[in-house]
Structure 1
Amino acid sequence: MDLQHWLGRATHAIQDWADGFGPYRPHPSLQVDDDRFGTVFEEFTGRLKDNYPFFHPHYAGQMLKPPHPAAVVGHLTAMLINPNNHALDGGPATAAMEREAVARLAAMFGYDTLPHSPSGAGGAPIRSDYAPLGHLTTSGTIANLEALFVARELHPGRGVAHSADAHYTHGRMCHVLDMTSHPVRTDGQGRMDLDALEDVLSTGDVGTVVLTTGTTGLGAVDPVHEVLPLAERHGVRVHVDAAYGGFFTLLAGADGPEGLPPEPWRALARADSIVVDPHKHGLQPYGCGAVLFRDPEVGRFYLHDSPYTYFTSTELHLGEISLECSRAGAAAAALWLTFQLLPPTPDGLGRVLAAGRRAALQWADLIEASDLLELYQQPQLDIVTYFPAVDPASLAGIDAASARILADGMESPDPVFLSTLKAGREAFAARHPKITADADGARILRSVLMKPESEHHVEHLHSRVERLAQAG
């Protein structure tokens, strides 16, 4: 895809549309001299070089990569108009695109579409043609805040249970919402421990359980299918934070090494709410999260009687059923355009995720066969965690060696970019009991292989990390 060509087409297309409304002269206060802009632009692009090469397969650190060119073109094209998806009149076209894109996300998770027509402000229908309820957000953090806000309204006075390895968002958002958070210990694979959860739920203090399908540290996947009946017995809601791993549902039951077991992915359709971040595996620029509610009636918690929001529309839009107000219509446009080319189906985005999953499994095999590196745990998605073999085998030694490899890798003439993750003493003991626990924990190496190109660079990455380990 020729990005320069289509970006040029984008500016012409919007200019042609704008010309149809008649000529006008931009105000002199907005005029910028081209020579002056050129000087500033040179400085600007120079400063942007102070970044890591997130686009390159040799960047195998954090969950960062550029958006797909289609998303860039879609975002920029709509941004030239700058629609606001807060209300229908703020962005009629991108509002429709958001509905369609969110419907695709809902279908990906298996959410049913049942007719409903609850009343909104002034008796206006919230949505007469769409269920379940869902919308785009600026991030997974805000999406999770919305899910926990609804949880609080449905179970006032009751708290939230979440995995001890869940994203810190949940503890922080519970604080914002004046709810009590209950961290639940994890098992030897980083998944929520069911016996510990049973103990927490038995207190009656919890109204919602947050399950994570793809922790940002290990990529661990909580057993949603096993927690659902437990939650039902205790009268507790289930929210799934699938911000990182949600799109991996496309690999559930797939053939080949990248295939994942049907559960817990099929069980997501029975969760009360789901959060997913298209700006991760959905190939979008940052600023694109999403929250879905199985029961559209929760829209009643968002109702308001603002006298100035609507100009001509009598129907509440997705942006009105949201804690956010102004939301970039460009984000919806980018997601819609991307989904036309790479839909959230096994044969669409599923092929992109499959490549990263195969890369993680291949690297895990190479690490297990290595005398210089040890696998921390088997990858459950596309995140590989490992550490240098040190003698004597101690947490302090592993921590120091991991830190050195991280730094040396970036400074090498043939650089490789990794990340580290702090693993606690107990977590280490559960996986590697023979390692001397002479510290509270140790940094281990962590590589997120979310770029499909990683599949063709795994052997080089492994060789480089081995050489870095050997140099120590």
Structure 2
Amino acid sequence: MDLQHWLGRANRAVQDWADTFGPYQPHPSLHVDDRRFAAAFEEFSGRLTDNYPFFHPSYAGQMLKPPHPAAVVGHLTAMLINPNNHALDGGPATAAMEREAVARLAAMFGYDTLPHSPSGAGGTPSRSDYAPLGHLTTSGTIANLEALFVARELHPGRGIAHSADAHYTHGRMCHVLGVPSHPVRTDARGRIDLDALEDVLRTGDVGTVVLTTGTTGLGAVDPVHEVLPIAERYGVRIHVDAAYGGFFTLLAGTEGVAPEPWRAIPRCDSVVVDPHKHGLQPYGCGAVLFRDPEVGRFYLHDSPYTYFTSAELHLGEISLECSRAGASAAALWLTFQLLPPTRDGLGAVLAAGRRAALRWAELIDASEVLELYQRPELDIVTYFPVLEPPALTAIDAASARILADGMAAPDPVFLSTFRAGREAFAARHPKVAQDADGARVLRSVLMKPESEHHVDRLHGSVEELARAL
């Protein structure tokens, strides 16, 4: 699609709408002449060049890529109006778009998305008429905060258990909420260890278990289906942090993605996903869903000036955040019209990155100078240079050298590193000398579908850097 054309159409569409309200005189205090703006824009655009090429398949470092052009058009068009999705008064159109987009996310995870029979005043749906309950947030961090907030309210005085490899946001938000955090060791695949989890649950100190379907370090997927019966036995809730990997539920049972963890998510109490990762959205766009709509009672509040135009459920009544950009909902809604969260829609985009990861794993298996740290479960590949003798200190130094040399090469390649602890390394590679507390390994995130056609070149570049050592 021609982004420049559609941005022009967007500006005209909003102006045509604005013209229906009659003329008015813009205030002179807002006027900026083109010459002044040109000078400021030149400096601005120049400073933006101090970025890595997130758009290019040679960038295989962190979880960064540009949004889809449809998301850009949707976001910028709505931004010209600047709706606030906290209340229907601030953004009726984008609030409706948010509900529709969230319903599609809920359906993607297998949650029931249809309202029950209206039971609110005047026949309009009440809070409990929506199953499940959910909304967009500004990030996965805030989405997880909301899930942990509800966990605290449902089990006051009881803590939160999560794997030691879960995102640091869980420990941080437990501190914010004043809730005890219980990190649980991981197994040799980076997943929560079931025996260690049961030891923690046996104490009775835990009310909710956080499971991660796609850790941000390794892309490891916790065995949701195996934890569910344990959680039921001890009477604890399950929250699924699918901020990174959530959209891979579209590939469950295909492309080598094990189906069982994903198909167990509908039985969990809440789930978080970040459309600004695999959902092709600009930052920030997260989402939280609760299976039981009755948890909306924990959000109850009143405002004397926002709720006056409608008796319907306001998004601000079911979120901790107040002001939220309606433009984020518009961008996601428009993207879903073209690339819906289905196996043939967004699933095809994720499948390309998954195939790239599997291809690179094959190439590393056949390499004499690189070795897999862990076989990829999603689209994150971790590996390290083969050295003689193999030792943690040498691997750490060599990984750092390849990272730096790759960015400085004439044909640069952009990677990242992941620090693996001594015990985690020993579980996967017992022949490596444990002469340090841990070591950095190389890490590549192949979340751009273009990686599928670039992975052989990436591998060749990294192999050349490893041989140069």
- Establish whether TM, by shorter chain, passes 0.5: yes
Cα distance, 1:117 vs structure 2:
7.7
Cα distance, 1:124 vs structure 2:
8.5
- The answer for the alignment partner of 1:280 in structure 2 is 277
Could you list the runs of 5+ residues in structure 2 that have no partner in the other structure?
A: none
Query: Conserved in 1, the CA contact under 8 Å of 2:127 and 2:294?
Result: no
Q: Distance in 1 between matches of 2:35 and 2:114?
A: 58
Q: Distance in 1 between matches of 2:45 and 2:3?
A: 18
Cα distance, 1:14 vs structure 2:
0.3
Query: Conserved in 2, the CA contact under 8 Å of 1:126 and 1:299?
Result: no
Partner amino acid for 2:29? S
Aligned ranges 1:218-237 → 2 under 5 Å: 218-237=218-237
From 346, 350, 353, the equivalent of 1:353 is 350
- The answer for the alignment partner of 1:215 in structure 2 is 215
- The answer for the alignment partner of 1:344 in structure 2 is 341
- The answer for the alignment partner of 1:158 in structure 2 is 158
Q: In the alignment, does 2:399 pair up with 1:413? A: no
Q: In the alignment, does 2:330 pair up with 1:333? A: yes
Query: Conserved in 1, the CA contact under 8 Å of 2:131 and 2:293?
Result: yes
Q: Deviations over 1:55-95 (max 9, x none)?
A: 00000000100000000000000000000000011100000
- The answer for the alignment partner of 1:444 in structure 2 is 441
- What is the TM-score of this pair, normalised by structure 2? 0.98
Cα distance, 1:408 vs structure 2:
0.5
From 375, 398, 401, the equivalent of 2:398 is 401
Secondary structure at the aligned position of 2:263 is classed as: helix
From 422, 431, 451, the equivalent of 1:434 is 431
Q: Distance in 1 between matches of 2:119 and 2:193?
A: 41
Secondary structure at the aligned position of 1:375 is classed as: strand
The total of aligned residue pairs comes to 469
Q: Distance in 1 between matches of 2:114 and 2:341?
A: 21
From 350, 375, 379, the equivalent of 2:376 is 379
- The answer for the alignment partner of 2:362 in structure 1 is 365
Aligned ranges 1:114-263 → 2 under 5 Å: 115-116=115-116, 126-127=126-127, 130-254=130-254, 258-263=255-260
Cα distance, 1:113 vs structure 2:
3.5
Q: Distance in 1 between matches of 2:120 and 2:171?
A: 31
Partner amino acid for 2:465? L
From 289, 292, 296, the equivalent of 1:299 is 296
Secondary structure at the aligned position of 2:219 is classed as: coil
Could you list the runs of 5+ residues in structure 1 that have no partner in the other structure?
A: none
Cα distance, 1:305 vs structure 2:
2.2
Query: Conserved in 2, the CA contact under 8 Å of 1:132 and 1:293?
Result: yes
Question: More deviation in 387-396 or 285-294?
Answer: 387-396
Q: Distance in 2 between matches of 1:352 and 1:305?
A: 42
Query: Conserved in 1, the CA contact under 8 Å of 2:224 and 2:265?
Result: yes
Q: Distance in 2 between matches of 1:15 and 1:378?
A: 52
Q: Deviations over 1:350-390 (max 9, x none)?
A: 00000000000000010011011010010000000000111
Q: Distance in 1 between matches of 2:126 and 2:98?
A: 15
Q: Deviations over 1:18-59 (max 9, x none)?
A: 011001111000000101100110100000000000000000
Q: Distance in 2 between matches of 1:128 and 1:432?
A: 51
Partner amino acid for 1:62? Q
- The answer for the alignment partner of 1:64 in structure 2 is 64
1:414–1:108 Cα change, 3 Å: same
- The answer for the alignment partner of 1:73 in structure 2 is 73
Partner amino acid for 1:399? D
Q: Deviations over 1:237-257 (max 9, x none)?
A: 000000000000000123xxx
Q: Deviations over 1:300-351 (max 9, x none)?
A: 0001122222131122312321000000000000000000000000000000
**How big is the alpha-carbon RMSD for the aligned residues of Structure 1 and Structure 2?**
1.6
Partner amino acid for 2:174? C
- The answer for the alignment partner of 1:84 in structure 2 is 84
Query: Conserved in 2, the CA contact under 8 Å of 1:120 and 1:300?
Result: no
- The answer for the alignment partner of 1:389 in structure 2 is 386
Query: Conserved in 1, the CA contact under 8 Å of 2:118 and 2:129?
Result: no
Secondary structure at the aligned position of 2:81 is classed as: coil
Percent sequence identity over aligned pairs: 86
Q: Distance in 2 between matches of 1:23 and 1:173?
A: 49
Q: Distance in 1 between matches of 2:376 and 2:24?
A: 58
Partner amino acid for 1:440? D
Secondary structure at the aligned position of 2:209 is classed as: strand
Q: In the alignment, does 2:37 pair up with 1:37? A: yes
Q: Distance in 1 between matches of 2:233 and 2:333?
A: 39
Q: Distance in 1 between matches of 2:103 and 2:2?
A: 29
Question: More deviation in 212-221 or 104-113?
Answer: 104-113
Q: Deviations over 1:221-251 (max 9, x none)?
A: 0000010111011010000000000000000
1:341–1:211 Cα change, 3 Å: same
- What is the TM-score of this pair, normalised by structure 1? 0.97
